[in-house]
Amino acid sequence: MSKFESSIRQIPYSQQAVYAMLSDLSNIERVRDRMPDDRIKDFSFDSDTIAMSVPPVGELRLRIVEREEPKCIKFETEQSPLPFNLWIQVLPVTEASSKMKLTIKAELNPLIKGMVAKPLQEGLEKIADVLAAIRYE
């Protein structure tokens, strides 16, 4: 099992506010304008799933499979050229701030891992950047 982790992001909002927004994917509508149009196509979502086309990767569809309020949201791929799990962990720092880390775990053979490790890590960091820049109020 290969594991990729984003660096920890500080967020100036409470753990509960961050969790409440991220655990309901229909809230993505509020940040749709931050999505890079040149890298993400056919973007759609509902409260539990998110789907997109990411050239040259292909079609991705993720579903929330577990919510552990207020600290963790676990996703699993429903459609992906590379099956993986994604965790968003949110921990309190103070009553008004929190920190976030994203983790991806995937079964990768050594050849595939060599090809996808760098783009996967970079993509994870970009997702973390977008999530850290959201206004959670």
Q: What pTM value is reported for the model?
A: 0.89
Which of the two residues, 130 and 71, has the higher pLDDT score?
A: 71
pLDDT for residue 11: 97
> In the prediction, which pLDDT does 32 show?
67
Averaged pLDDT of the chain: 90
pLDDT digit string, tens, across residues 88-116: 999 999 999 999 999 999 999 999 899 88
pLDDT at residue 82 tops 90? no
User: Which region holds residue 46: left if phi is over 0, alpha if psi is between -120 and 50, else beta?
Assistant: beta
Q: Select the more confidently predicted residue: 39 or 75.
A: 75
3-state secondary structure at position 32? helix
User: Which residue pairs, CB below 8 angstroms and at least 24 apart, start in 78-85?
Assistant: 78/49, 79/51, 81/57, 82/57, 82/106, 82/108, 82/112, 82/116, 83/107
Residue-wise pLDDT tens digits, 4-13: 999 999 999 9
Structure-block tokens of residue 91: 């921990």
Residues 90-109 as b or e (16 or more Cβ within 10 Å = b): beeeeeeebbbbbbbebebe
